[in-house]
Amino acid sequence: MIQRNRRDGERACDILGAIAKIERWRTLHDSNDDMFRSAVMRELGVIGEAANALSDEFKSQHPEIPWRSVVDLRNVLTHHYWDTVWSLIEQILDDELEQLRLSVESHQRLVDSANVREPTEAPVIHTDGRCHQWMPRARTECDLPLGHAGECRTRAIGSNK
């Protein structure tokens, strides 16, 4: 696997994306559903992993966030999964997730820097009925139909469309 250094802006996008998924899922699913709980815990793990990789400079600019606790939660969810108490996860979602989102969003300059696309000669107007939303982590555009439900993604390997 090729490792590359990812900037704080890209890590911030990972955090914001995971938070957005959790916030959206909470409006759509019953919190007693096992699949919902598993998905939320997975995204909390993504948040913790991304937070662990943020630079000390980024973290010091946001002292209101308990970064060590964010990373520790990821470690508990990954290594002590059997010990997870859902009521504590719900408390984190209710009391702390929004503050994390607001703090990371406030650092918009870094978030924006992760979304910079390579310059093109002229804006492209798409008329093929595809979404074409830029996905910075994949460094490509969404290939699903315009107005699709769910997350943007590229077409499956081996797909004819």
DSSP label of 108: H
Q: Catalytic site residue 74?
A: yes
- Spatial distance between the Cα atoms of 150 and 82, rounded to a whole number of angstroms: 29
Which of 4, 79, 80, 117 is the catalytic position?
A: 79
DSSP label of 123: P
CA 45 to chain centroid, in Å, comes to 10
Residue with tokens 């959206």: 24
> For the chain, how many helices (H) and strands (E)?
7, 2
Query: Residue 41: how many CB atoms within 10 A of its CB?
Result: 19
142 touches 152 (CB < 8 A)? yes
Q: Catalytic site residue 24?
A: no
Half-sphere exposure of 36 (CA within 13 A, CB side): 15
Which of 7, 24, 29, 74 is the catalytic position?
A: 74
What residues are annotated to the active site? Answer: 74, 79
